[in-house]
């Protein structure tokens, strides 16, 4: 009989699975779920090709360049290991994958968890049982312990001309609100200090279920909570870490529907991280119409102003496409002028790429590649200048920073660390570089930092609460 303090022992002959996860955070969550299921079936995880009995490659198929990266990753896995199963968004193009790499063992599509597991069972049969000790294991995490992605839905109801996500992942399918909140609660209890809410369209959460209400939490204080972004945001704001503090909660992929206004006061109250990731894509009404996206850029500017009045510290990030078919110089100048007025905190840009199956491929007046490059460079120059000014304004201020990495002492014994402010999501935004941190500092700690310097993307400072 085992006790709660006993470490579970895997069977000696447990098969080992390697994973290469490409693409967006939503795909990373898929990878976590697949590995969690496989570990429950008795498989061990391998950190390298050499130790794996089979390698899973979770592909991205959003752009042609992403497909090329996926095919290259499959090729590398085959060269290094030889036994490869392919899944993910590019899995819908099984013929193209097999044409490039006929050695692959199996190909499955996006979020087809059961098919992936079945393929692994077929090509690397599991041991007789998962564990000698019957102790539940936590879910597999591919992110550091202190932050976690919380996927609230799958698929998308939009028909944007440049996008094939609905073909790859289907229409919107929202998770039950109680299931989402239970997962968030478990993640925070396990040490998560930062929740990153993700989906294809966070603002549309629950539309497909008519915002079905569920009792939450279970027990004496049960109340009905709707599957709606505002209800979800409010409930996530009630979570507390072991230290009794609200975890940072970021909202990603937020379309600017009217009800988004209701989450801004929650940010002002400290219940949500003052951060919104909004995929604007463009500002010119002509281009937005061609993209089949709402053309309400003037109202967005008014709302941005209103949001900043309610919550002055709010950071807004977005991404934009340059060189969309039919984009004129006037359209591009309109976008640049809009960005000058919007003063977004973080901006990413992409040159338009035709994607097989996207409606935009058939649009007239494609923009020459050299014009795309020139416009991309101009846009990045403008947004970099805006970012530099915004970060320079933070010099001398004290900000909360979450620690991602702590370095080794240098020859003088000084230790540096890397963290992020509330305006910085992991992997996609800037960083805060710290000098002379205490040796007891650990990843996941949230500390107050005095900002001493800044550049166009990052901040530099020193901890004040040591």
pLDDT tens-digit map of 11-59? 457 889 999 998 888 888 888 888 888 888 888 888 899 889 999 999 9
Which neighbouring-strand residues pair with 55?
18, 84
For the residues 144-161, what does the mean pLDDT come to? 90
Q: In this predicted structure, what is the pLDDT of residue 128?
A: 53
Beta carbons within 8 Å of 333's beta carbon, 6+ residues apart: none
CA distances (Å), origin 31, targets 17, 61, 67, 142, 189: 12, 15, 18, 8, 22
Q: In this predicted structure, what is the pLDDT of residue 344?
A: 97
Flag whether pLDDT at 282 surpasses 50: yes
Flag whether pLDDT at 129 surpasses 60: no
Dist CA 445 CA 83 (whole Å): 40
Flag whether pLDDT at 297 surpasses 80: no
How deeply is 311 buried, as exposed, middle or buried, from its count of CB atoms within 10 A (0-12, 13-18, 19+)?
buried
**Which tens digit of pLDDT belongs to each residue from 400-451?**
999 999 999 888 889 999 999 999 999 999 999 999 999 999 999 999 999 9
Query: Among 312, 311, 376, 388, which Cα is nearest to 346's?
Result: 388
Dist CA 121 CA 40 (whole Å): 12
For the residues 336-350, what does the mean pLDDT come to? 96
Flag whether pLDDT at 207 surpasses 80: yes
Query: Among 272, 280, 320, which Cα is nearest to 300's?
Result: 280
Q: In this predicted structure, what is the pLDDT of residue 132?
A: 43
Q: In this predicted structure, what is the pLDDT of residue 144?
A: 87
- For the chain, the 3-state helix, strand and coil shares in percent, each to the nearest 5, are 35, 20, 45
What angle is formed at CA 215 by the lines to CA 212 and CA 220, rounded to 5 degrees?
165
CA distances (Å), origin 179, targets 32, 186, 457: 17, 11, 37
Q: In this predicted structure, what is the pLDDT of residue 466?
A: 59
Q: In this predicted structure, what is the pLDDT of residue 375?
A: 97
Dist CA 242 CA 99 (whole Å): 52
pLDDT band at 215 (very low <50, low <70, confident <90, very high): very high
Q: Is the pTM of this model over 0.85?
A: no
Q: In this predicted structure, what is the pLDDT of residue 131?
A: 47
CB atoms < 10 A from the CB of 359, how many? 16
Flag whether pLDDT at 393 surpasses 60: yes
Q: In this predicted structure, what is the pLDDT of residue 39?
A: 86
Q: Report the length, in residues, of the chain.
A: 466
Q: In sequence order, what E strands does 75-221 have?
A: 84-88, 106-107, 147-151, 153-154, 173-174, 194-198, 213-216
pLDDT band at 4 (very low <50, low <70, confident <90, very high): very low
Give the DSSP letter string of 17-60. EEEEE-SSHHHHHHHHHHHHHHHHTTPEE-SSSTT-SEEEEEE-
Dist CA 205 CA 437 (whole Å): 41
Q: In this predicted structure, what is the pLDDT of residue 135?
A: 46
Query: Among 183, 177, 249, which Cα is nearest to 208's?
Result: 177
Flag whether pLDDT at 235 surpasses 90: yes
pLDDT band at 219 (very low <50, low <70, confident <90, very high): low
**Which tens digit of pLDDT belongs to each residue from 324-340?**
999 999 999 999 999 99
H/E segment holding residue 255: none
* Mean pLDDT, the chain, whole residue set: 89
CB atoms < 10 A from the CB of 247, how many? 22
Dist CA 19 CA 45 (whole Å): 8
**Which tens digit of pLDDT belongs to each residue from 52-109?**
999 999 998 877 788 889 999 999 999 999 999 999 888 888 888 999 999 999 999 8
Dist CA 77 CA 56 (whole Å): 9
For the residues 139-168, what does the mean pLDDT come to? 85
Flag whether pLDDT at 269 surpasses 90: yes
pLDDT band at 143 (very low <50, low <70, confident <90, very high): confident
**Which tens digit of pLDDT belongs to each residue from 174-200?**
999 999 999 999 999 999 999 999 999
For the residues 115-137, what does the mean pLDDT come to? 71
Contact between 108 and 86 (Cβ < 8 Å): yes
> What domains are there in the chain, each with its CATH number?
16-123 (3.40.50.12160), 147-392 (3.80.30.20), 398-463 (2.40.50.140)
Q: In this predicted structure, what is the pLDDT of residue 457?
A: 95
């Amino acid at each position: 009989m085992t006790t709660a303090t006993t470490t579970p022992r895997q069977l000696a002959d447990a098969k080992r699975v390697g994973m290469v996860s490409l693409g967006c955070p939503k795909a990373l969550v898929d990878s976590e779920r697949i590995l969690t299921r496989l570990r429950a079936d008795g498989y061990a995880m391998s950190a390298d090709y050499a130790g794996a009995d089979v390698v899973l490659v979770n592909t991205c198929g959003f752009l042609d360049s992403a497909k090329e990266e996926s095919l290259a990753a499959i090729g590398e896995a085959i060269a290094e290991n030889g036994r490869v199963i392919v899944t993910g968004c590019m899995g819908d193009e099984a013929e193209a994958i097999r044409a490039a790499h006929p050695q692959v063992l199996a190909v499955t599509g996006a979020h087809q968890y059961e098919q992936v597991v079945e393929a692994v069972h077929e090509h690397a049969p599991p041991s007789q049982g998962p564990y000698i000790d019957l102790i539940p294991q936590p879910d597999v995490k591919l992110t550091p312990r202190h932050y976690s992605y919380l996927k609230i839905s799958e698929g998308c109801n939009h028909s944007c001309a440049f996008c094939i996500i609905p073909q790859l992942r289907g229409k919107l399918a929202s998770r039950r609100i109680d299931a989402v909140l239970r997962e968030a609660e478990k993640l925070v209890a396990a040490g998560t200090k930062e929740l990153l809410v993700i989906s294809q369209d966070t603002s549309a959460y629950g539309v497909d279920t008519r915002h079905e209400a569920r009792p939450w939490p279970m027990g004496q204080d049960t109340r009905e909570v709707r599957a709606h972004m505002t209800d979800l945001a409010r409930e996530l704001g009630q979570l507390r870490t072991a230290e009794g503090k609200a975890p940072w909660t970021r909202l990603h992929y937020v379309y600017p529907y009217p009800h988004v206004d209701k989450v801004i006061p929650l940010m002002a109250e400290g219940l949500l991280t003052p951060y919104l990731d909004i995929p604007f894509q463009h500002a010119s009404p002509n281009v937005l119409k061609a993209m089949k996206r709402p053309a309400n850029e003037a109202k967005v500017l008014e709302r941005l102003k209103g949001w900043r009045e309610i919550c002055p510290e709010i950071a807004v990030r977005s991404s934009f496409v340059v060189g969309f078919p039919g984009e004129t110089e006037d359209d591009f100048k309109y976008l640049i002028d809009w960005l000058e007025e919007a003063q977004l905190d973080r901006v990413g840009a992409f040159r338009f790429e035709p994607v097989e199956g996207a409606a935009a491929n058939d649009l007239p007046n494609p923009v020459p590649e050299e014009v795309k490059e020139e416009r991309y460079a101009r846009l990045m120059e403008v947004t970099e200048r805006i970012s530099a000014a915004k970060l320079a304004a933070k010099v001398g201020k004290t900000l909360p920073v979450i620690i991602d990495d702590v370095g080794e002492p240098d020859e003088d014994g000084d230790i540096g660390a890397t963290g992020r402010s509330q305006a910085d999501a992991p992997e996609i935004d800037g960083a805060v570089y710290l000098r002379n941190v205490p040796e007891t500092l650990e990843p996941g700690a949230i500390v107050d930092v005095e900002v001493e310097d800044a550049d166009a993307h990052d901040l530099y400072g020193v901890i004040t609460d040591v």
